[in-house]
Amino acid sequence: MKMLMFLLVILISIGTVSAVGIVWSTEGDYVTENSEKCITYGAYNPSAQDIKVKIEATESLKEAIIGESVSNKIIKAGTEAQAAEKVDFCFKVPQVYKQDCLMGNILCKKTCGEETKVYKGEVTMSEEVIGGDGGSGSGVSAEAAAPLELRVLCVPYERNWSPVYIVGIIIVLILIGMLLYKEYSTPQVVRDEERLKRLQDKIKTEKGKK
């Protein structure tokens, strides 16, 4: 009788243990710095409970991945690998190659003389059990992993001198504005007197030449 109860407890435990499986179609991809990328994985759940999956990149990929996000997906109990649910793993690729800048982070160019940077690691899919046996809440209880290699492409570009041109135009406009303000802020009588004086000086100069 004790042996029968022991086997019954084991069978019940096996039936309630949750699990997650991951399916992938690629182990590597090319990405461009300062861009966004999404990779689709498959998630299956051979356990007896519904689960909610979560995807994260391992630490060795963190230099090439920021702002990870995963589509909120619930995987029904008993989902086999052949019927795996699609889960999108999206992330942003930061700037990983050095720039040649003249002032701070402006007037920069990139020649892409370095070798292509490659980051290797894994994408782990963990599961959160939804609810439980007569209870509520969730907890991570298992995970699966898929290898991932990211090759970050460098995009060369020349210096953008537009900011310099814009600043130069602004300075010229300011100077013209100051001159016009100085010219037209003076009373008309004073301006006429100044013109008359310049004209008289010019007449005297011309007479002196004769």
Domain ranges of the chain: 22-153, 162-209
| Planar angle of CA 29, 33, 34, nearest 5 degrees | 125
What integer is the mean pLDDT of 153-168? 82
The Cα 40–Cα 26 span in angstroms is 9
Looking at the domain that runs over 22-153, which CATH code has it been given? 2.60.40.10
Q: Residue 8: is it exposed, middle or buried by C-beta count within 10 angstroms (0-12/13-18/19+)?
A: exposed
Sheet architecture: strand order including 51-57: 28-32, 140-153, 117-129, 51-57, 74-75
**DSSP reduced 3-state for 83:** helix
What integer is the mean pLDDT of 188-193? 70
Q: Which residue has the higher pLDDT, 139 or 40?
A: 40
pLDDT tens-place string over residues 95-107: 889 888 887 777 8
Which pair of structure tokens corresponds to residue 181? Answer: 């303000």
- Strand boundaries in the chain, DSSP class E: 21-23, 28-32, 35-44, 51-57, 66-70, 74-75, 85-93, 100-103, 106-109, 117-129, 140-153
